[in-house]
Amino acid sequence: MSWRRQVRQLGGLGAAMPRALLARIFINHRRGARFTGVWQSRDAASAACPTKGYDDQGIADISFDLMCKRAVWDYPLLFWLNRLLPDHPAVLDAGGHMGTKYIAFSDLLDLTGTRWTVFDLPGIIEAAQARQSAGDIPAQITFASQQEGLEACDLLICSGLLQYLDKPFADFVGGLKEAPKYILLNKVATREGRAMFTSERIGQNRVPYHIRDRQLWEAEMGAMGYDVIDRWTIPELGHVIPTHPWYGRSESRGYVLKLRGAHGAPDCGPTKPRVPSTL
Protein backbone atom coordinates (compact mmCIF):
# COMPACT_ATOMS: atom_id res chain seq x y z
CA MET A 1 0.00 0.00 0.00
CA SER A 2 1.38 3.39 -0.99
CA TRP A 3 1.99 6.04 1.64
CA ARG A 4 -0.55 8.32 -0.06
CA ARG A 5 -3.27 5.69 0.28
CA GLN A 6 -2.35 5.11 3.91
CA VAL A 7 -2.62 8.84 4.59
CA ARG A 8 -6.05 8.97 2.90
CA GLN A 9 -7.26 6.02 4.98
CA LEU A 10 -6.02 7.56 8.20
CA GLY A 11 -7.66 10.84 7.25
CA GLY A 12 -10.94 9.06 6.59
CA LEU A 13 -10.84 7.30 9.94
CA GLY A 14 -10.04 10.54 11.69
CA ALA A 15 -13.10 12.15 10.17
CA ALA A 16 -15.25 9.14 11.12
CA MET A 17 -14.22 9.03 14.79
CA PRO A 18 -16.49 11.89 15.98
CA ARG A 19 -19.46 10.21 14.28
CA ALA A 20 -18.53 6.87 15.84
CA LEU A 21 -18.38 8.48 19.30
CA LEU A 22 -21.78 10.11 18.76
CA ALA A 23 -23.27 6.79 17.60
CA ARG A 24 -21.98 5.11 20.78
CA ILE A 25 -23.43 7.80 23.02
CA PHE A 26 -26.90 7.28 21.52
CA ILE A 27 -26.59 3.51 21.06
CA ASN A 28 -29.69 2.75 23.17
CA HIS A 29 -31.77 5.69 21.98
CA ARG A 30 -34.94 4.75 20.07
CA ARG A 31 -33.60 6.76 17.15
CA GLY A 32 -30.06 5.50 17.45
CA ALA A 33 -28.10 4.12 14.52
CA ARG A 34 -29.60 1.14 12.71
CA PHE A 35 -26.41 -0.91 13.19
CA THR A 36 -24.34 -0.70 16.37
CA GLY A 37 -21.61 -2.74 18.01
CA VAL A 38 -19.35 -5.54 16.82
CA TRP A 39 -19.01 -9.02 18.34
CA GLN A 40 -17.25 -12.18 17.23
CA SER A 41 -20.08 -14.59 18.11
CA ARG A 42 -23.86 -14.71 17.90
CA ASP A 43 -24.12 -15.51 21.60
CA ALA A 44 -22.24 -12.32 22.49
CA ALA A 45 -24.37 -10.26 20.13
CA SER A 46 -27.57 -11.86 21.49
CA ALA A 47 -26.56 -11.01 25.05
CA ALA A 48 -26.36 -7.36 23.99
CA CYS A 49 -29.84 -7.55 22.39
CA PRO A 50 -32.10 -8.38 25.36
CA THR A 51 -35.39 -7.92 23.44
CA LYS A 52 -37.40 -10.72 21.82
CA GLY A 53 -35.74 -10.02 18.50
CA TYR A 54 -37.59 -11.14 15.40
CA ASP A 55 -39.77 -13.72 17.22
CA ASP A 56 -42.32 -11.07 18.09
CA GLN A 57 -45.76 -10.44 16.63
CA GLY A 58 -45.27 -6.80 17.57
CA ILE A 59 -42.69 -6.26 14.81
CA ALA A 60 -44.30 -8.53 12.21
CA ASP A 61 -46.22 -5.65 10.63
CA ILE A 62 -43.21 -3.32 10.42
CA SER A 63 -42.66 -2.48 6.73
CA PHE A 64 -45.06 -5.24 5.62
CA ASP A 65 -46.61 -3.14 2.86
CA LEU A 66 -43.17 -2.04 1.65
CA MET A 67 -41.87 -5.64 1.68
CA CYS A 68 -44.80 -6.69 -0.53
CA LYS A 69 -43.45 -4.42 -3.28
CA ARG A 70 -40.64 -5.39 -5.62
CA ALA A 71 -37.22 -3.82 -5.20
CA VAL A 72 -34.37 -3.69 -7.71
CA TRP A 73 -32.57 -6.56 -5.97
CA ASP A 74 -35.62 -8.85 -6.40
CA TYR A 75 -35.20 -9.15 -10.15
CA PRO A 76 -32.44 -11.79 -10.14
CA LEU A 77 -34.80 -13.95 -8.05
CA LEU A 78 -37.61 -13.33 -10.52
CA PHE A 79 -35.36 -14.31 -13.42
CA TRP A 80 -34.43 -17.62 -11.83
CA LEU A 81 -37.89 -18.41 -10.48
CA ASN A 82 -39.29 -17.93 -13.98
CA ARG A 83 -36.78 -20.51 -15.23
CA LEU A 84 -37.03 -23.02 -12.42
CA LEU A 85 -40.64 -23.11 -11.23
CA PRO A 86 -42.05 -25.08 -14.20
CA ASP A 87 -39.91 -28.11 -13.27
CA HIS A 88 -39.50 -27.38 -9.55
CA PRO A 89 -42.88 -26.34 -8.14
CA ALA A 90 -42.29 -27.20 -4.47
CA VAL A 91 -40.91 -24.01 -2.90
CA LEU A 92 -39.71 -23.42 0.65
CA ASP A 93 -39.42 -19.70 1.36
CA ALA A 94 -37.27 -19.75 4.51
CA GLY A 95 -37.38 -16.54 6.48
CA GLY A 96 -40.21 -15.54 4.14
CA HIS A 97 -41.92 -13.35 6.75
CA MET A 98 -45.64 -13.20 5.93
CA GLY A 99 -45.36 -14.39 2.34
CA THR A 100 -44.14 -11.05 1.07
CA LYS A 101 -42.13 -12.48 -1.86
CA TYR A 102 -45.09 -14.53 -3.06
CA ILE A 103 -47.23 -11.39 -2.95
CA ALA A 104 -44.57 -9.20 -4.59
CA PHE A 105 -43.94 -11.66 -7.43
CA SER A 106 -47.47 -12.97 -8.06
CA ASP A 107 -48.32 -10.52 -10.84
CA LEU A 108 -45.15 -11.38 -12.81
CA LEU A 109 -44.95 -15.13 -12.27
CA ASP A 110 -47.51 -17.82 -13.03
CA LEU A 111 -47.71 -19.50 -9.63
CA THR A 112 -50.43 -21.94 -10.70
CA GLY A 113 -49.48 -25.36 -9.39
CA THR A 114 -46.70 -23.97 -7.19
CA ARG A 115 -46.66 -25.29 -3.63
CA TRP A 116 -45.27 -22.30 -1.72
CA THR A 117 -44.45 -22.79 1.96
CA VAL A 118 -43.21 -19.94 4.14
CA PHE A 119 -41.07 -20.95 7.12
CA ASP A 120 -40.37 -18.38 9.82
CA LEU A 121 -40.36 -17.80 13.57
CA PRO A 122 -43.52 -18.57 15.59
CA GLY A 123 -44.33 -14.92 16.32
CA ILE A 124 -44.14 -14.00 12.63
CA ILE A 125 -46.15 -17.05 11.55
CA GLU A 126 -48.91 -16.38 14.09
CA ALA A 127 -49.26 -12.84 12.76
CA ALA A 128 -49.26 -14.13 9.16
CA GLN A 129 -51.94 -16.72 9.83
CA ALA A 130 -54.11 -14.08 11.48
CA ARG A 131 -53.76 -11.86 8.40
CA GLN A 132 -54.46 -14.84 6.14
CA SER A 133 -57.63 -15.69 8.07
CA ALA A 134 -58.75 -12.08 7.59
CA GLY A 135 -58.21 -12.39 3.84
CA ASP A 136 -55.19 -10.06 3.71
CA ILE A 137 -52.72 -12.77 2.58
CA PRO A 138 -53.31 -15.26 -0.27
CA ALA A 139 -54.81 -18.55 0.84
CA GLN A 140 -52.42 -20.44 -1.46
CA ILE A 141 -49.49 -19.84 0.91
CA THR A 142 -48.76 -22.49 3.55
CA PHE A 143 -47.13 -21.28 6.77
CA ALA A 144 -44.89 -23.27 9.12
CA SER A 145 -42.82 -22.39 12.19
CA GLN A 146 -41.22 -25.79 12.86
CA GLN A 147 -38.56 -27.28 10.59
CA GLU A 148 -39.56 -30.79 11.60
CA GLY A 149 -42.40 -31.97 9.40
CA LEU A 150 -41.69 -29.68 6.48
CA GLU A 151 -42.36 -31.32 3.14
CA ALA A 152 -39.41 -31.87 0.81
CA CYS A 153 -38.83 -28.91 -1.50
CA ASP A 154 -37.32 -28.64 -4.97
CA LEU A 155 -36.37 -25.02 -4.51
CA LEU A 156 -35.23 -23.22 -1.36
CA ILE A 157 -35.44 -19.42 -1.23
CA CYS A 158 -33.56 -17.48 1.45
CA SER A 159 -33.97 -13.78 0.77
CA GLY A 160 -32.58 -11.77 3.67
CA LEU A 161 -32.50 -14.78 6.02
CA LEU A 162 -28.84 -15.59 6.42
CA GLN A 163 -27.79 -12.63 8.54
CA TYR A 164 -30.46 -13.59 11.13
CA LEU A 165 -30.24 -17.40 10.99
CA ASP A 166 -29.31 -18.75 14.44
CA LYS A 167 -27.47 -21.85 13.17
CA PRO A 168 -24.92 -22.63 10.44
CA PHE A 169 -26.60 -22.63 7.03
CA ALA A 170 -25.26 -26.13 6.34
CA ASP A 171 -27.07 -27.38 9.47
CA PHE A 172 -30.31 -25.74 8.38
CA VAL A 173 -30.19 -27.31 4.91
CA GLY A 174 -29.05 -30.64 6.41
CA GLY A 175 -32.14 -30.61 8.63
CA LEU A 176 -34.51 -30.58 5.64
CA LYS A 177 -36.16 -33.81 4.52
CA GLU A 178 -34.16 -33.75 1.27
CA ALA A 179 -31.45 -31.50 -0.11
CA PRO A 180 -33.13 -28.95 -2.42
CA LYS A 181 -32.01 -29.16 -6.05
CA TYR A 182 -31.69 -25.38 -6.19
CA ILE A 183 -31.15 -22.69 -3.57
CA LEU A 184 -31.74 -19.00 -4.29
CA LEU A 185 -29.95 -16.71 -1.84
CA ASN A 186 -30.40 -12.96 -1.75
CA LYS A 187 -29.20 -10.11 0.46
CA VAL A 188 -26.37 -12.11 2.06
CA ALA A 189 -24.22 -9.69 4.10
CA THR A 190 -20.49 -10.27 3.46
CA ARG A 191 -17.16 -8.55 3.93
CA GLU A 192 -13.57 -9.07 2.80
CA GLY A 193 -12.15 -10.27 6.10
CA ARG A 194 -13.11 -12.04 9.30
CA ALA A 195 -16.82 -12.63 9.91
CA MET A 196 -18.52 -10.59 12.62
CA PHE A 197 -21.86 -9.85 14.23
CA THR A 198 -23.44 -6.47 14.80
CA SER A 199 -26.90 -5.54 16.14
CA GLU A 200 -29.69 -4.17 13.97
CA ARG A 201 -32.53 -2.00 15.23
CA ILE A 202 -35.94 -3.12 13.93
CA GLY A 203 -38.69 -1.02 15.43
CA GLN A 204 -38.00 -0.99 19.17
CA ASN A 205 -36.15 -4.32 19.03
CA ARG A 206 -32.52 -5.15 18.35
CA VAL A 207 -31.43 -8.39 16.71
CA PRO A 208 -28.02 -9.96 16.00
CA TYR A 209 -26.90 -9.46 12.40
CA HIS A 210 -24.26 -11.76 10.85
CA ILE A 211 -21.77 -10.40 8.31
CA ARG A 212 -19.92 -13.31 6.72
CA ASP A 213 -16.35 -13.66 5.53
CA ARG A 214 -16.99 -13.83 1.78
CA GLN A 215 -14.22 -16.25 0.90
CA LEU A 216 -15.05 -18.68 3.72
CA TRP A 217 -18.75 -18.42 2.98
CA GLU A 218 -18.31 -19.28 -0.70
CA ALA A 219 -16.09 -22.22 0.27
CA GLU A 220 -18.81 -23.37 2.69
CA MET A 221 -21.40 -23.48 -0.08
CA GLY A 222 -19.10 -25.70 -2.12
CA ALA A 223 -18.50 -27.99 0.85
CA MET A 224 -22.28 -28.42 1.19
CA GLY A 225 -22.32 -30.07 -2.25
CA TYR A 226 -23.59 -27.11 -4.26
CA ASP A 227 -22.16 -25.29 -7.26
CA VAL A 228 -22.67 -21.54 -7.63
CA ILE A 229 -24.18 -21.03 -11.09
CA ASP A 230 -24.98 -17.33 -10.74
CA ARG A 231 -24.10 -14.49 -8.38
CA TRP A 232 -24.68 -10.74 -8.07
CA THR A 233 -23.98 -7.83 -5.76
CA ILE A 234 -26.44 -5.33 -4.30
CA PRO A 235 -24.52 -2.07 -3.71
CA GLU A 236 -27.54 -0.33 -2.18
CA LEU A 237 -27.62 -2.71 0.80
CA GLY A 238 -23.98 -2.46 1.88
CA HIS A 239 -23.35 -0.49 5.05
CA VAL A 240 -20.75 0.80 7.48
CA ILE A 241 -21.37 0.17 11.20
CA PRO A 242 -21.46 3.71 12.62
CA THR A 243 -19.93 2.71 15.96
CA HIS A 244 -17.10 0.78 14.25
CA PRO A 245 -16.40 2.47 10.89
CA TRP A 246 -12.83 1.14 10.73
CA TYR A 247 -14.18 -2.30 9.76
CA GLY A 248 -15.22 -0.88 6.40
CA ARG A 249 -18.32 -1.33 4.31
CA SER A 250 -20.11 -4.65 4.02
CA GLU A 251 -21.36 -5.93 0.66
CA SER A 252 -24.71 -7.58 0.04
CA ARG A 253 -24.67 -10.52 -2.38
CA GLY A 254 -26.98 -12.98 -4.10
CA TYR A 255 -26.30 -16.53 -5.29
CA VAL A 256 -27.97 -19.35 -7.20
CA LEU A 257 -26.83 -22.77 -6.01
CA LYS A 258 -27.40 -26.05 -7.83
CA LEU A 259 -27.02 -29.39 -6.06
CA ARG A 260 -24.06 -31.17 -7.56
CA GLY A 261 -25.29 -33.91 -9.87
CA ALA A 262 -28.91 -32.72 -9.87
CA HIS A 263 -30.86 -32.76 -13.11
CA GLY A 264 -33.47 -30.19 -14.08
CA ALA A 265 -33.76 -26.85 -15.77
CA PRO A 266 -30.72 -25.67 -17.76
CA ASP A 267 -28.34 -23.23 -16.14
CA CYS A 268 -28.49 -20.79 -19.06
CA GLY A 269 -29.95 -20.33 -22.48
CA PRO A 270 -33.52 -19.81 -23.72
CA THR A 271 -36.48 -21.12 -21.78
CA LYS A 272 -40.23 -20.88 -22.22
CA PRO A 273 -41.52 -17.84 -20.29
CA ARG A 274 -43.85 -18.61 -17.41
CA VAL A 275 -45.93 -15.49 -16.90
CA PRO A 276 -49.47 -14.95 -15.63
CA SER A 277 -52.25 -15.40 -18.16
CA THR A 278 -53.62 -12.02 -17.11
CA LEU A 279 -50.68 -10.13 -18.69
Q: What is the pLDDT of residue 17?
A: 53
Reply yes or no on whether the pLDDT at 26 is more than 50: no
Least confident piece of the model among 42-51, 94-103, 191-200, 220-229: 42-51
* Residue 94 confidence (pLDDT) above 90: yes
The DSSP letter of residue 50 is -
> Is the predicted pLDDT of residue 11 greater than 60, yes or no?
no
What is the length of the chain? 279
Q: pLDDT grade, residue 59 (50/70/90)?
A: low
State yes or no: pLDDT of 33 exceeds 50: yes
Q: Are β-strands 196-202 and 205-213 bridged in parallel, bridged antiparallel, or unpaired?
A: antiparallel
Say if CB 114 and CB 101 are below 8 A apart: no
pLDDT at 28 over 50: yes
pLDDT of the residue at 151: 93
Quote the percentage of the chain above a pLDDT of 70.
78
Average pLDDT over residues 205-224: 95
pLDDT at 266 (0 to 100) = 55
Closest CA to 181 of 245, 88, 243: 88
Residue 262: the pLDDT is 79
pLDDT grade for 53, boundaries at 50, 70 and 90: low
Total-model pTM: 0.83
Of 242, 250, 165, whose CA–CA distance to 211 is shortest? 250
Q: pLDDT category, 10, cuts 50, 70, 90?
A: very low
Assess whether pLDDT exceeds 60 at residue 158: yes
State yes or no: pLDDT of 119 exceeds 50. yes
pLDDT recorded at residue 24: 46
Query: Predicted confidence band at 205 (pLDDT cuts at 50, 70, 90)?
Result: confident
Residue 193 region by backbone torsions, left for phi larger than 0, else alpha for psi between -120 and 50, else beta: left
Please report which confidence band the pLDDT of residue 197 belongs to, taking 50, 70 and 90 as the band edges.
very high
Q: Report residue 60's pLDDT band, with 50, 70 and 90 as the boundaries.
A: low
Q: Look up residue 236 and give its amino acid.
A: E
